[in-house]
Amino acid sequence: MKNGILFQAFEWYLPDDGGYYDDLCLKLDELKEMGVTALWLPPVYKATGVNDVGYGSYDLYDLGEFDQKGSVRTKYGTKEQLKHLISEIHKREMSVYADVVLNHKAGADRAEKFQAVMVDENDRNREVGDVHEIAGWTGFDFPGRGDTYSKFKWHHEHFSGVDFDNLTGTKAIFRIIGDNKGWNLGVSTEKGNFDYLMFADLDLAHPDVKEELKIWALWFIDELGLDGFRMDALKHMDQAFLEEFFNFIRQEKGEDFYVLGEYWIKSEEENSDFLDKINYRSQLFDVGLHFNLFEASKNSAGFDLRQVFDGSLLKSHPALSVTFVDNHDSQTGQALESWVEPWFKESAYALILLRQEGYPCIFYGDYYGTNGEPAPDFIREKITCLSKLRKNFAFGAQDDYFQSPTCIGWLRQGDDEHPNKMAAVISTGDADTIGMSVGQGEAGKVYADYTGNSENKITIDEEGWGAFEVGPGSISVWMEDGLEL
């Protein structure tokens, strides 16, 4: 959708009271009004317990329907509540993307004995000791669900590694030994081979595993009426499997079925290499841009704003870049914490919402708050304003005016259906001004700052130039005065 906005509809510390789906229903109208076109839901299947955000996935077929892991509901609610939420999202003509965790399984029903070898945590290609028998948590029988929806049961041959030997109580990374078994090769080379991330690691080269995941994916899509997948932990997953899986989904559900992946690494080169190996079948979160925004917020004096897009997917693969400021992994208290400072949030969101390139994603935590604390009113108000500006006015060609290390701006020219010009200016230093040409057709018009950060007015000169101001460490977005957001 043109000028679409994705909303990550959860944060890490939501209460585990089962009321999430009903609460999100109450937020849909305001999200629609501000310009959100798609919602990314958290993992909706049964995890290790109701206090699990969902990434410790246990049973992909239990969407809050069976009494397993201590409850019928998931952290977020029941299957009935989930289906009602999705129906309400679709009524508002917004899309639904489900979080898909296929790298590992957690909370096994029983331990199994098998042959394995311990590996070096920092170099998973280096074996530590000899092959020996261990007992790992790899037996998934799903006693609460039985054979409903699927008769497939998971055993040690379906996994490549575990992190605990139940025989000796040893916590370490063990590679499972077996015919045609080893670490998947099409993964990140970090730590030698980064196939293993956590829990019981799926062997994505195993033919039965591949077939079962395809069968499940079609069931999952049809059961909930999904419009797309957000794929977790792609840098730990076999690239050959991913290309096969994405091709299968598109073949069965059409090319419009949306796929977005998380490949958490700063390197644009590695991201580009991954995209090439999966034949560009998925968009990716722009992790490089996120870290540039994080660095700019932490080091305003030393960061050159003119380089804010360097090393980003937005620059190298703009059609495949999903831009974001923060998410559940980067938020405060998480292992990948890299929280953009509040003073820079508005500018950071302007850089993803008002640009021509990229598919921007707004984080629940920035808009509604985290860990029971509401988001600051000023940040929420600014995100709302910028989203409406994107929805109604951020159209047409883009002219960059990257003036200095602490002050940049750009102009959106508008198009036939949206003829208004938009000039955005960001400063991380002192108050500044950037001259931009909006065209002689704008001569004599008075422009105002729609962020409300400046009360001044600017008159376009007879040549079509405007001297667009910005306050210290701030942002202004200038358009003809009197327009309705």
- As annotated, the active-site residues are 232, 262
Neighbours of 239 (CB within 10 A): 21
Neighbours of 141 (CB within 10 A): 13
Look up tokens 């008002």; give the residue.
354
- Of the candidates 472, 380, 375, which has an alpha carbon nearest to the alpha carbon of residue 428? 472
Q: Can you tell me the distance from the alpha carbon of 184 to that of 161, in angstroms, rounded to the nearest whole number? A: 11
| b/e map 75-91, b = 16+ CB within 10 Å | bbbbbebbbebbebbee
- Of the candidates 6, 14, 90, 76, which has an alpha carbon nearest to the alpha carbon of residue 43? 76
Residue 353: C-alpha distances to residues 211, 231, 391 (Å): 39, 23, 9
Phi, psi angles (nearest 5°) of residue 96: -125, 120
Q: What is the DSSP string of 323-351?
A: EES--TTTSTTSTT--PPPHHHHHHHHHH
Strands 258-261 and 283-285: parallel
Query: Of how many residues is the chain composed?
Result: 485
Greatest extent of the chain over all pairs of C-alpha atoms, in Å: 83
